Amino acid sequence: MIIQRPKVVYSDATEKYHMFWHADNSTYGLLLQGFAQADNITGPYSFVDATSPLGNWSQDFGVFTDYKDGRSYALYSNGDRKEARDVYLTSYNDNKTALDSVVHRFDKFDLEAPTIIQTEKSYFALMSHKTGYRPNNVVAFRADKLSGPWSQPFIVAPLNTRTFNSQSGFSLRIKGRKQTTYLYLGDQWDSNSLWESRYIWLPVSINEQKKSLQLEWYDVYDLNVKTGEYREVKGTTYQAPSAKTAGSAFKQEATFSDTGSILTGIYGNDSTVTFSNVQGNGAKDGQWVSFYYQNTDDMGFGDQPGGTPDRIGGAWQLRRIASVVLNGDTQNVESLYQRDTHKGIILSTPLKLKLKKGSNEIRIGGLNNGVDVKGADIEKIVVYPPEG
């Protein structure tokens, strides 16, 4: 049995933790919801059953608990077949052992990975398009109550960033002494390097007057969970024109970059770019260095259903991999995974490096990603102060 997106809720009535998940086989032919329970949140969990919720199919899965009344709900896509393509919002019974009624049905939007952010005035349902494990523009719906009416869907991140290369997975509400902060937890699936499938945790900006929601990108930010406040951490920027190129790497005009220039042609060990005189603090635990880049191996990415590699003219890539060499130490090469962007769209990937105190040299090359040894185009690097 395949287990995807497990979620846990606590039942006061049964005094047990209940785990639910999308339960399926290798051909996605079952479309069930699994159910297990335990006395402690850490388990061990005992399997109870896998069923069709209220007789429906169930694919991508999420759980939401209303903080005002304590009711819990399941959100799930009911499959890819032509007679399906809906997302259900269904309530649990008082024991949280089974679903009892459909509260709302998002009809024929063909979305998945649902999660709900609840504020004092609104409910925002975030969902991802179905594009075959490729990131896309996550959308949100808004309503005054869970039964609707719900708004038209709207995109929650800058266009063509594909929600910063992520899919909606979950959301957190942090109620502090001074403010309430909402976090978007998006997963960055990497089908070629599963160990590099990571989460991004981003603050969410909500405007109740405009009834809008937007994700805020920060390479590094500080969040005080006691007060609920967060702030961006500022770093020192080193732009592309200051770097030295070697081999076939070169500086190219790019109107979308900060300086009108970008570093391209980065390939293997022979065609590299080097940033010199990068100032470090010498912190024992290292410093975050963010690499801003463009990677146009997008293979027609968008919000349309995904194709197969033979249909779209190439093997799956989803990312390039760059080599990062600090101060000429080629025995300790860092791997920088640079997920696809879009033409003219700059994204960033932070990497923690142990910079020595004073001047440092950072050299960027290319590593084998299973297809090629080409690194992404580099716009700039930003060095952040040590944590604490």
Q: Supply the pLDDT for residue 109.
A: 87
Q: Measured between alpha carbons, how far is 30 from 130 in angstroms, rounded to an integer?
A: 18
Q: Are 299 and 345 in contact (CB under 8 A)?
A: no
Q: Supply the pLDDT for residue 315.
A: 54
Residues of the chain with pLDDT under 70: 1, 298-316
| 312 membership: H or E segment, kind and range | helix 309-312
What are the residue ranges of helices labelled H in 145-251?
162-165
Q: Supply the pLDDT for residue 305.
A: 52
Domain 2-232 has CATH 2.115.10.20: yes
What are the residue ranges of helices labelled H in 128-263?
162-165
Q: Are 122 and 142 in contact (CB under 8 A)?
A: yes
- Please name every residue paired with 237 in a beta bridge, in sequence order, or none if there are none: 382
Length in residues, the chain = 388
**Per residue in 276-293, pLDDT tens?**
999 999 999 999 999 999
DSSP class of residue 241 equals G
Give me the sign of the Cα torsion angle 92, 94, 100, 103: negative
Return all residues near 59 (Cβ < 8 A) that are at least 6 apart.
Answer: 22, 24, 28, 31, 76, 77, 78, 79, 80, 112
DSSP class of residue 150 equals P
Pairing type for strands 261-264 and 198-207 reads unpaired
Q: Measured between alpha carbons, how far is 165 from 293 in angstroms, rounded to an integer?
A: 13
Q: What is the CATH number of domain 236-383?
A: 2.60.120.260
Q: Which of 177, 63, 187, 164 is nearest to 118 (CA)?
A: 63
Domain with CATH 2.115.10.20 in the chain: 2-232
Pairing type for strands 180-188 and 198-207 reads antiparallel
Pairing type for strands 319-326 and 334-339 reads antiparallel
Q: Which of 69, 13, 119, 40 is nearest to 140 (CA)?
A: 119
Half-sphere exposure of 249 (CA within 13 A, CB side): 29
Q: Supply the pLDDT for residue 316.
A: 57
Q: Measured between alpha carbons, how far is 160 from 302 in angstroms, rounded to an integer?
A: 8
Q: Measured between alpha carbons, how far is 102 from 89 in angstroms, rounded to an integer?
A: 6
Which 3 state secondary structure label does DSSP give 33? strand
Q: Measured between alpha carbons, how far is 72 from 66 in angstroms, rounded to an integer?
A: 6
Q: Measured between alpha carbons, how far is 97 from 234 in angstroms, rounded to an integer?
A: 47
Q: Supply the pLDDT for residue 313.
A: 44
Domain with CATH 2.60.120.260 in the chain: 236-383
pTM of the predicted model as reported, rounded to 2 decimal places: 0.92
